[in-house]
Each structure stands twice: as structure tokens, then as C-alpha cells.
Homo-oligomer: A and B are copies of this chain.
Amino acid sequence: MSVLEKISSPKDIQNLTLVELQALAGEVRNLIIDAVKTNGGHLSSNLGSVELTIALYHVFDFSSDKLLFDVGHQSYTHKILSGRKDAFNTLRQKDGISGFCNPDESPYDAFVSGHAGNAVAGGLGYCYARNLLKEDYFVVSVVGDASLSNGLSLEALNASPDKPNKFVLILNDNGMSISKNDNGFYKGIINSTTKKPYLAIKSGAKKMFGKNFIGKILRKIKGFFKRVFDPNVYIDDIGFKYIGTIDGHNLKEMIKVFKRVKEHGFPAFVHLRTLKGKGYKEAELYADVYHGIGKDFKPTVNSFSVALGDAMSSLCASNDKVVAVTASMKEGVGLNAFASKYPDKFFDVGINEEYAVTLSAGMAKAGLRPFVCIYSTFLQRSYDQILHDVCLQNLPVVFCIDRAGVVGSDGATHQGVFDLSYLRHIPNLKILCPKDVNELEPALNYALSLNCPVAVRYPNGVGEIFATKKDFDGSWELIKDGQDVTIFAVGGRMLSLASKLSSYGIDAKIYSARSVKPLDFNVLEEEKSSHIITLEDNVLSGGFGSAVAEYYSKKSYPVKVSIFGLDDKFIKHASVESQLSDYGLNIDDIVKIIKNK
């Protein structure tokens, strides 16, 4: 009987012996490797957090204590230990286990995870509420070193010099952001603590010196030496007891520390060193390749990201003011080769999307032409910076928005389905949507020529390639003439959807709406007497179709516009196709509206 089979409730983990816990780590690791091999997923960071999660479950009781994971790339072990081991082979599949923490999935998922930086703030919220409501439990926030330097984390860490008791911050430090960690906070403060655990000095002090007057003076002297020998005066200053560094794969050592933290109840900052990919050789060696990986451990191909990398290299070769900025997504947005070729033109600022955008505003004001390459979902963090720092100053920053639209198996926290709505109403900003990879470089060239803020939006995966005009000027392209209805479609996915209409006996006139802002007013005027259908891989509210409706609402003639976009719901993990079809872009519904016209 395996150890996993013995666990019928998370509480059972508290009673396992060290030998059993070690065996459990091996079993969990195999389960993770199998599930990711079958379904794709996040491998490296999940392999790195197996032991730390087991140690936490051994010491704490998460039926009452709260466990928050920052990002959730580290939460697979937690999912397996909290009642989801049998369903774990459905990872990231429709109706299966989500790849991130989700309170709707299990009461053990104490807080949503997906976007970096929310576990310290969310954990503090739990603590303050617990204290006000006079409840009693521990709150444990597990944060990766890359997330810790995010603005939201830093705000929470610094928010008050007094931290609540029974709050445990676990720093899961694998020395990597998604790529290598090169952050000031990290290098300056965290990286320098490679000495023996500080816990011994600290906890010993009170016992040794007592609580009387002399004890106080001696503790002051100890404080003096602490400043000399322990650079983590900073962590102490923001209200935590610093404990570190601990080997994050040594169950025995971690359990000892966690028990001590539980016994004392002080606000603790436990610094664990872990190895990304631990236990799977290839993942240890190529942690960033195995960070997020496809089925059968084949890299997922995103053809737009590949095209972005090529296009950026061309742009940079022909214009010496072009630079690329990303937020810990060098690999994901396709800038690996660019970064090697143009190291001084490449800025990876870590998971700091706000900084990425305002930095680019400063660069643009000073004469450069920055291209900010960030996923649609993460760019949400920069909404205010886009509006206030870039667009209010009408600066020529180009936003290359990858993973726009539904994203498939990453699910609700990672959907890129809001960007048209959160960008369209910002003055001075233009929004372009190339229909395929061949149109990306022309779109970026056009964006560069506009000399104002421009967003260029494209999806993940391998998109259809269309026969295409070579020029790109933001006018809408007539893809197919037709008699029954006029379709304005945003991007290749929607063009593919529109092309299905012919098999339903509908002869549609189809336009590629390559510019969502401004709209192509010539086409709008030409087509005003048709029944118009708008299609977009974005929420219906406030998106492209809504812009078309706004335009016609100001005219004296009546126009029939039927808007199709995604429902006003958070969209769960599933395939891209079923997400589109289940959440508002079902071809049958579109046909119905056209035939009833």
C-alpha cells in the first residue's frame, strides 16, 4: 500500500513518520510528473515545492489553518494532499482539476492564485479578519522569490511595521524568476543570507538574557551584533522574525522549524532554498524550459510569440531607437533570441508590470521607441500606468499583447479576454489586431509609424494562416464578399469562425477588423444598411462590438448590429474551442440570429 493510499484526510499526514513522509514525497512527485506528461502544465516549480508542502501539512491543520499560494505554480502537491489525488489526472482538462488554486474547487484553496503577488496581502487580510472576529488559526502564505518583488507583494510587506501573530510567510526561493532572478530586493536583501540559520541566535536570545533590565541591555547588544552578522535587519524592520536559510527539500529540518514557528506564534518569515525541477533530471537542468510545458513534455508552440521575436529583431535592426521590455516573460513572449542578439536593447524587469510600463513611458519621453511585451492577463496590472503615464502623455509606446482571447487550459485566472474592454476607452490609444502571424510584423511596423500609444493584440496557440495583403494600415480588410449578412471579425480565430457560415448555407461578407480603435469608418458607412454581426474573442461588454454599436447610435439612420463576444462570466479551463463555443461564440447561435433577421 502506498503512503498516498493511506491518506484519506489531510489530517492523516500529521501522523506520518519521517520515513513515510519521505516516501510520500516520491509518490507525489511521480503523480505530478505523470499528470503533466499527460496533460501539460507547470512542472519545474511544482517539483520544487513537494517537500515544503508535505512539511506544512505535517505540522499545520489546513482544515482550519489557511494556506495561500502565490502564483499557484507551486500548488500541485497541495492539491494532491487535500483530497484531489484521484482526480489529479484530470489536471487542466475541462471539468477537471484547475492548474491554479481555486476556492470553488476545494475549501483547502484558501485564496485564488494566478497573478503574482497576492498571497501576502490576502494572507494579511485573513489575519486582520481573524483577529477582529476573535477566531484562532494560522495563516501561511507561500511565496516564490520572483513574486516577492512584485509591487503588490512589496506594498503588503511594507504596509505596516507590525505584522500580526500566527502569520507565516514561506519564501520558496529557487533563485529564479521564471527566468533568472535579477531583482534588487532579491539580490540585495535575500541573496546575501547564506549563513547558518538565524533562528538559533534569535530564539536563544530571549531565553539566554531573560526579560529583566539587564536582559534588555544584553538583547540590545545582541541587536548590535545582529546588524553586523545578519543582513536581514530589513525583514526584521518590516515586522517579521527572519528564519533562514533552510533546505527546502530537507523534511526533517523544515518540520523542526515549522513546529517552532507554530509553538511561538510570532510573525515568521521562513526562507527556504529549493531547486526548481527537483527530482526530474531534465527539469533540474532546464528549469525554464520545463516551467510550463506541453503534453509529452513537448514545448507548447505559440506561433505569434515566435513571430514576435522575429519581428522585434527586424525592427531593432532597422531602427536604433527600438527597445523591448518584458516582465519576466522573455521565453513566453518569444524574446529569447532577441535578448541574446540585442542585450542592451532588452529589458526584463521581473514580475513588475507596472514598472515595465512606466519605465517605457520614461524611455519614450526621452526618445526611445519601447515595445512592451506582456500577456493580456498580466497587462491588467498596468491599466493605470497605460492610462496615466503613457496615454495621457500620448507617448509612442507599443504594447505587444500576447495570449489575448481565451487561453485554454490555464483557465480563469489567465484569460486574455478583457483587454479590448480595458483599453478601448483610453484616449490616444490605438488598438490593432493582426489576423495571422504574417500580419504581425506589418502591424508592428505600422504601430511604430503611428508615433503614439498602440496596442497590438494576438492569441496563443497555432493560428490559421490566411492569404493576406502585405500592407497593414489599420483599414479593415475584405476577406470574402457575400450577400446575406456582413461580419466584422477581430483576429484570425473569429475569421475562422465566420468562414464556417458557408456550410450553414449563409453567404456572408466578411471583414477582418484589423483596427479596433479607431474603427474603419468608411466600412461602417458602406455597410450600414446590412445586418451586421460583430465577432470578438473578448468579453462582449465594452469591447469591439460595443464600439460599433456606439458609432451607429450617434447616426440618424437605424442599423441592425448583433454583437457576439464572450459572456459576462469567468471562463474555466478547457480547450480553446470549447471555451469559445460554451461562452458566447457558438456558431449555431450566430446562424440563428442571421437566419431570423
The chain A residues found within 8 Å of chain B, CB to CB, are: 66, 103, 110-112, 114-115, 118, 121-126, 128-130, 132-133, 135, 149-152, 154-161, 182-189, 192, 224, 227-228, 231, 233-234, 237-239, 321, 323, 344-345, 347, 349-350, 352, 354-355, 358-368, 380-381, 383-385, 387-389, 391-393, 412-413, 418, 421-422, 424-428, 539-543, 545-547, 549-550, 553-554, 556, 558, 560-563, 568-570, 596
Instruction: Tell me the bound Cα distance from A23 to B354 in angstroms.
Output: 41
Out of B156, B187, B365, B422, which one reaches A125, CB within 8 Å?
B365
- Chain B nearest CB from A196 CB (Å) reads 18
> Considering only CB atoms, which chain B residue lies closest to A561 in the complex?
B553
Across the interface, do B355 and A388 meet the contact criterion of CB distance under 8 Å? no
> Considering only CB atoms, which chain B residue lies closest to A555 in the complex?
B562
> Considering only CB atoms, which chain B residue lies closest to A571 in the complex?
B427
- Chain B nearest CB from A488 CB (Å) reads 13
Across the interface, do B355 and A152 meet the contact criterion of CB distance under 8 Å? yes
State the copy count for this chain: 2
- Chain B nearest CB from A235 CB (Å) reads 10
Across the interface, do B542 and A542 meet the contact criterion of CB distance under 8 Å? yes
Contact flag A187-B159 (CB < 8 Å), given A367-B133, A553-B563: no
7 closest residue pairs by CB, A with B:
A125-B362, A151-B151, A188-B237, A542-B542, A129-B366, A121-B358, A425-B541
> Considering only CB atoms, which chain B residue lies closest to A152 in the complex?
B354
Q: Which residues of B lie under 8 Å from residue A187 when comparing CB positions?
A: 161, 237
- Chain B nearest CB from A591 CB (Å) reads 15
Across the interface, do B352 and A155 meet the contact criterion of CB distance under 8 Å? yes
Across the interface, do B427 and A365 meet the contact criterion of CB distance under 8 Å? no
Across the interface, do B154 and A158 meet the contact criterion of CB distance under 8 Å? yes
Out of B159, B182, B323, B554, which one reaches A160, CB within 8 Å?
B182
Contact flag A128-B238 (CB < 8 Å), given A133-B366, A228-B228: no
Across the interface, do B427 and A413 meet the contact criterion of CB distance under 8 Å? no
Contact flag A427-B558 (CB < 8 Å), given A231-B233, A365-B103: no
Contact flag A363-B125 (CB < 8 Å), given A380-B384, A425-B543, A541-B547: yes
Chain A to chain B contacts (Cβ below 8 Å), 14 pairs: A114-B392, A122-B358, A124-B362, A125-B361, A125-B362, A129-B366, A132-B344, A158-B183, A161-B183, A161-B184, A224-B228, A228-B228, A383-B383, A553-B561
Across the interface, do B152 and A158 meet the contact criterion of CB distance under 8 Å? no
Q: Which residues of B lie under 8 Å from residue A547 when comparing CB positions?
A: 541-542
Across the interface, do A560 and B563 meet the contact criterion of CB distance under 8 Å? no
- Chain B nearest CB from A298 CB (Å) reads 30
Instruction: Tell me the bound Cα distance from A250 to B278 in angstroms.
Output: 58
Q: Which residues of B lie under 8 Å from residue A350 when comparing CB positions?
A: 159
> Considering only CB atoms, which chain B residue lies closest to A380 in the complex?
B384
Out of B126, B352, B364, B383, which one reaches A362, CB within 8 Å?
B126
Across the interface, do B151 and A362 meet the contact criterion of CB distance under 8 Å? no
Contact flag A368-B133 (CB < 8 Å), given A118-B358, A362-B125: yes
Instruction: Tell me the bound Cα distance from A368 to B130 in angstroms.
Output: 9
Q: Which residues of B lie under 8 Å from residue A570 when comparing CB positions?
A: 391-392, 427-428
> Considering only CB atoms, which chain B residue lies closest to A162 in the complex?
B184
Instruction: Tell me the bound Cα distance from A389 to B368 in angstroms.
Output: 35
Instruction: Tell me the bound Cα distance from A545 to B596 in angstroms.
Output: 26
Across the interface, do A563 and B554 meet the contact criterion of CB distance under 8 Å? yes
- Chain B nearest CB from A264 CB (Å) reads 21
- Chain B nearest CB from A590 CB (Å) reads 12
Instruction: Tell me the bound Cα distance from A550 to B552 in angstroms.
Output: 12
Contact flag A558-B560 (CB < 8 Å), given A132-B323, A160-B184, A362-B125: yes
Across the interface, do A154 and B156 meet the contact criterion of CB distance under 8 Å? no
- Chain B nearest CB from A119 CB (Å) reads 9
Q: Which residues of B lie under 8 Å from residue A231 when comparing CB positions?
A: 227, 233, 237
